[in-house]
Amino acid sequence: MTPTAKTLVSIAALSAALSAAAVSASMAKDAAFAIPAVAPPQISVETLDSITRELSSDAYEGRAPATAGEDKTVAYIIKRFAAAGLQPGNKGSWTQEVPTLEITGSNYTPLTVKVGGQALSFAYGDDYVAGSYRAVPETRLADAPLVFVGYGINAPELGWNDYAGIDMKGKIAVILINDADYDAKDESGPFKGKRMTYYGRWTYKFEEAARQGAAGALIVHDTFPAAYGWNVVHSSWSGAQLFVQSADNGMSNTEANGWIQKPVAEAILKASGQDLAALTAAARQKGFKAVPLSATASFGFDNAVKKTVSRNVIGILPGKKRPDEYVLYTSHWDHLGRCNADKTGDDICNGAVDNATGIAAMTAIAEANAKAGAADRSQVFLAVTMEESGLLGSKFYAENPVYPLARTVGGVNMDALAPGSAARDIQVTGGDKSELTAYVNRAMKDMGLYQSPEESTEKGFYYRSDHFSFAKLGVPMFALGRGSDLVKGGKEAGRAAAERYTVNDYHQPSDEYDPSWDWSGPVQDTALYYRLGRMLAMTTHWPNWHKTDEFRLIRDKSLSGK
Ligand SMILES: [Zn+2]
C-alpha cells in the first residue's frame, strides 16, 4: 500500500503524540520544573544576510569602538531593532554609554626583593610584568611583604580558602596559576579536574587578591598550567590596557597586578628558605595555609590614563504577564577596526562572522518574537561594545544593569555564527553548570539534534565571551552553538570549515561577507537560541546554578536581595 495523504497525516499525528509522551517522561527525569513548549520560529534568512552584509561592509571600517564606524553601527542597529518591533531599552533611550579607561604603564623600575640581608633584582619584561588597574598617575610599592598564597582561591561553596587566617593589607600575594587539580585526566576533583573553572583564570587571581585587601598580586607563570608561554604574558601586558570606568576610579583593585617568571619565584622562595615545588604540592591539598615569606618587594612605574566612551545598544520586548522579569540576549557589535593589511593591502578587519552574524541573529530573534506575540516575561536585546577589548561592554552593563540582575532570569549569548550547512549536533561550552541544561536538552529533542562532547575543556572558553560577564555576577547564561557534524558533509566537512576559518580568517581582513554563503547553519543556531530564550520567557521557573558551581552562592545572594 502506498501511503495516501490521509495516512501520512495520521502517522505524523501518531508520532507527534508518541514523541510528546517521550518528551514529558524524560522531562520528569531531567527536571522537577515544567519547561513550556515553544512553536518553531520563522527565522528570516533575509535578516541574517542583510544585517551581516551591511555591518561588515567597508563603510563601517571594521566597527572599532569610539570611531565613526561606531556611530554608523549604533545607528544601523537602532534602525533594525526598531523595525523588528523592539522598544528603546534604556529608559526611553536606545543606548547605554560605556565609559572606559585606557591605562599605559611606563618607566618601570626593576623588581627588587630584599631577603636575608641580600637584595635580588629582576628586570621588567624578561623577569616580571605589572600594571595598575587604578586610574592613578604613578604606582609605587615599597618594601611590601610577600606572602605565598598557593592558588589564591577562596571558594566558600567548596570550603576552600587559601587566604584563611591571613591579613593581606599592605602585602603582595604570590599566586600559582590554574587550580589544585588542573592536571587530572578527567573532571574529578574539587575544581573539576582538567576542566577549567573560573578559580583557575588569571583574572580571578587578581580579583580575589583585591578582595583580600592585598597591596599587590604577582602570578607565577608556568607554561603548562597557564597554557601559554611567557611571550604571551609579556606582549599582552605591554602597551595600553583597557578597563571600564568605575565610580571609585578602580581603587577597589590592588595597587599593582602582574606576573613573574617561574625561575624568579624559585629564586625568591629559595632565598626565603622555602621551596616552590614543595609549597606547590602543599597548596594542592585542602586546608593549605598561606605562607608569609621573609622577603619584601619594591617596584614602580608611571601610568598614562586616557578616558573614552563607547555605547551598548538596548532594545526590549515587554512581557505581558510578568514584565518585571527579564530574559537577556547578548551579542557584541564591535570588531577590530583598521588592522594590519593583508597581501592585497586590505586593512579593514570587517568582522563579518565575528560578530556581524551575532547581531543579525539577535535581530532575527527579536523579529520572530514580535511575530509570535509578547511572551510572559520581558525580553531584553543587548548589543554590547568592546568584547574584543576584554568583554568591557557586557561587564559595564552587568555592573550597571538597566534591568536588575536579580530580576534577570537568564540569557543567551551569540558570538560568531559560522555560515555553512546546518548540523546534526550541538556543542555546549562550560559543561553542565546549571538547570539551564534541562532547557538545552528539551530544545535538542524538539529540534532532533544530539550533543557532542565539548572539546578543549581546559581552555576555559566559558570565561571568554560576553555571557561570562553575567554569569560572574550570578545570572545563568547559555553558551552553545552548532556542532561539526554537518548535514552536508558530516564531521569531516565541519572540522575542515572550522579549521579554515580559524587559520585564514579569524581576526583578519578576510573575515568578509560572501554572497554565496549557505545560511542553513546560522538559521539553525538562531532557531536554537530563539527556543531557549522563548522557553525562559514563557516559564515561571528561575533556573539556578548547580549546588557546587562557582556562581551558585553569588546568585543565591543576589536573589535574596542581600
Ligand atoms: Zn573576535
For 173-218, the pLDDT digits (tens) are 999 999 999 988 898 889 999 998 999 999 999 999 999 999 999 9
Give the pLDDT of residue 13.
39
- pLDDT tier for residue 19 given thresholds of 50, 70 and 90: very low
Between the CA of 143 and the centroid of ligand 1 the distance, in Å, is: 41
pLDDT of residue 475: 98
Q: Give the distance (Å) from ligand 1 centre to CA of residue 136.
A: 30
Straight-line distance from the first to the last Cα atom of the chain, in angstroms, rounded to the nearest whole number: 68
CA of 507 to the centre of ligand 1 (A): 6
**Percent of the chain residues past pLDDT 70, beyond the cut:** 94
Q: How far is the CA of 359 from the centre of ligand 1 (A)?
A: 13
- Predicted confidence band of residue 4 (pLDDT cuts 50, 70, 90): very low
Give the pLDDT band of residue 111 (cuts 50, 70, 90).
very high
> Is residue 20 over pLDDT 70?
no
Strand order in the sheet with 425-428: 450-451, 425-428, 480-482
Give the residues across from 115 on adjacent strands: 118, 295
Q: Are strands 291-317 and 138-148 parallel, antiparallel or unpaired?
A: antiparallel
User: How much distance in Å is there from the Cα of 98 to the middle of ligand 1?
Assistant: 19
Q: For residues 354 and 511, what is the distance between their CA atoms, to the nearest angstrom? A: 8
- 294 residue type, one letter: S
Q: From ligand 1's centre to the CA of 506, what distance in Å? A: 7
Average pLDDT score over residue span 501-508: 91
Three-state secondary-structure class, residue 188: coil
Distance 346 CA to ligand 1 centre (A): 18
- pLDDT (tens digit, 9 = 90+) per residue, 215-238? 999 999 998 888 889 988 998 898
Ligand 1 centroid – CA 6 distance (Å):
51
| CA 463 to centroid of ligand 1, rounded, Å | 14
Q: How far is the CA of 337 from the centre of ligand 1 (A)?
A: 11
Strands (E), 14-153: 87-88, 95-106, 111-115, 118-122, 128-131, 138-148
Residue 346: phi, psi to the nearest 5? -75, 120
Confidence at 2, pLDDT banded by 50, 70, 90:
very low
Rounded CA separation 271/342 (Å): 50
Distance of alpha carbon 36 from alpha carbon 146, whole angstroms: 55
For 452-491, the pLDDT digits (tens) are 999 888 888 899 899 999 999 999 999 999 999 999 999 9
Q: Would you say residue 21 has pLDDT above 60?
A: no
The pLDDT score that the predictor gives to residue 227 is 81
pTM of the full structure: 0.88
139 has pLDDT over 80:
yes
User: What phi, psi does 258 have (nearest 5°)?
Assistant: -175, -175
| Cα 152 to middle of ligand 1, angstroms | 30
Q: Are 432 and 406 in contact (CB under 8 A)?
A: no
Distance 354 CA to ligand 1 centre (A): 5
Q: What is the pLDDT of residue 31?
A: 58
The three cell numbers of residue 270 are 629559595
CB 337 within 8 A of CB 349: yes
| AA identity, residue 422 | A
Average pLDDT over residues 539-560: 95
Position 441 scores a pLDDT of 97
Q: 242 vs 532, which has greater pLDDT?
A: 532
Q: What is the pLDDT of residue 270?
A: 97
- Give the tens place of pLDDT for each residue, 300-349: 999 999 999 999 999 999 999 999 999 999 999 999 999 888 899 999 99
pLDDT value of residue 9: 35
Q: Are 293 and 115 in contact (CB under 8 A)?
A: yes
Rounded to the nearest angstrom, the distance between the alpha carbon of 342 and the centre of ligand 1 is 17
From the CA of 352, how far away is ligand 1's center (Å)?
A: 10
Distance (angstroms) between ligand 1 centre and the Cα of 332 equals 9
Q: Out of 18-22, 66-70, 164-168, 191-195, which region has the weakest mean confidence (pLDDT)?
A: 18-22
Ligand 1 centroid–CA 334 distance in Å is 9
Q: Is the pLDDT of residue 11 over 80?
A: no
Give 211's contacts (C-beta < 8 A, 6+ positions apart).
154
What percent of the chain clears pLDDT 90, i.e. is strictly above it? 85
454 C-alpha to ligand 1 centroid (Å) = 20
H or E stretch at 437: helix 436-447
pLDDT at position 23 over 80: no
Average pLDDT, the chain: 92
Q: What is the DSSP letter of 214?
A: B
Ligand 1 center from residue 115 Cα (angstroms):
44
pLDDT band at 133 (very low <50, low <70, confident <90, very high): very high
